[in-house]
Amino acid sequence: MAELSLTSHLCHVEYIGAEFKNAKFTDVPIHSGVEFHFILSFAIDYTTSSSASPTNGKFNIFWDTDNLTPSSVSTIKGQHSNVKVALSLGGDSVGGDSAYFNPTSVDSWVSNALRLMMMRFRVITWRMALWKSYGRPIDYVNFQFYAYDEGTTVSQFMDYFSTQTSNYEGGRILASFSTDGSGGLKPENEFFTACSQLKSKGELGGTFVWSADDSKSNGFKYEKQSQALLAIPH
């Protein structure tokens, strides 16, 4: 008999490490009833010098490596079987300045990026196996709903979500919020009301948060609330 999973197919996704606020994987509460993805943020193809410049596909690490190490990844995955850790390629800024995609040429950028991934991050073999096994490369669509106006209402949020569901037909859309004071429908307002409505209609793929670094100061209050909602049986 096949073993039944107690983990919801709904996913909670959390960026971590970009703001160097000493957030650790083990700081973040993880509900055993949801799939939980950490995203290391970020690896960017820019130099790490004070006057950063593009490196044409040669990525460097820009997350908090003092607290988010390979051994800490192994530890958190060993403690929680429902946890996955991903790496985000590219980022909005480096040292406070905007980071732009600036390839010398498509071929040279791809060549450099692939070489680095194989040597440094060692992900190519696993990605090829994943592709052969599952085919479709995109599981979840993380749309930044917190980029909308700060005064977003539940009705507006539902409309925005519906639009992106149409834009990414067939994709599992994550409802996103931020804990850094950005815009969109706030978790302290009625974000979870909107999520409950989407979940009841079977339209919610999960939740996405920017970011663990900012949430640490409030004890990850909204991460707990988000995962509790996702774990409720349909």
What local confidence, expressed as pLDDT, does residue 131 receive? 34
More confident: 75 or 118: 75
Instruction: Tell me what the mean pLDDT of segment 100-111 comes to.
Output: 80
Name the percent of the chain lying above pLDDT 90: 58
Which has more pLDDT, 161 or 122?
161
pLDDT of residue 3: 33
Assigned token pair, 132:
């052969």
**Using an 8 Å Cβ cutoff, are 18 and 61 in contact?**
no
Q: How many CA atoms lie within 13 A of 77 on its CB side?
A: 12
pLDDT at 161 over 60: yes
Residue predicted with more confidence, 206 or 43: 206
What's the mean pLDDT in 81-110?
83
Report pLDDT for 148: 92
Query: How far, in Å, CA of 71 to CA of 107, rounded?
Result: 34
| Pairing outcome for strands 60-61 and 35-44 | antiparallel
The predicted structure's pLDDT at residue 169: 78
Rounded to the nearest integer, the mean pLDDT of the chain is: 86
Q: Say yes or no to pLDDT of 127 above 60.
A: no
- Cα–chain-centroid distance for residue 39? 5
Binning pLDDT at 50, 70 and 90, where does residue 133 land?
A: low
- In b/e form, how buried is each residue of 133-150, taking b as 16+ CB within 10 angstroms? eeeeeeebbbbebbeeee
pLDDT of residue 89: 86
Q: According to the model, what pLDDT value does residue 178 have?
A: 97
Looking at the predicted structure, is the pLDDT value of residue 140 above 60? yes
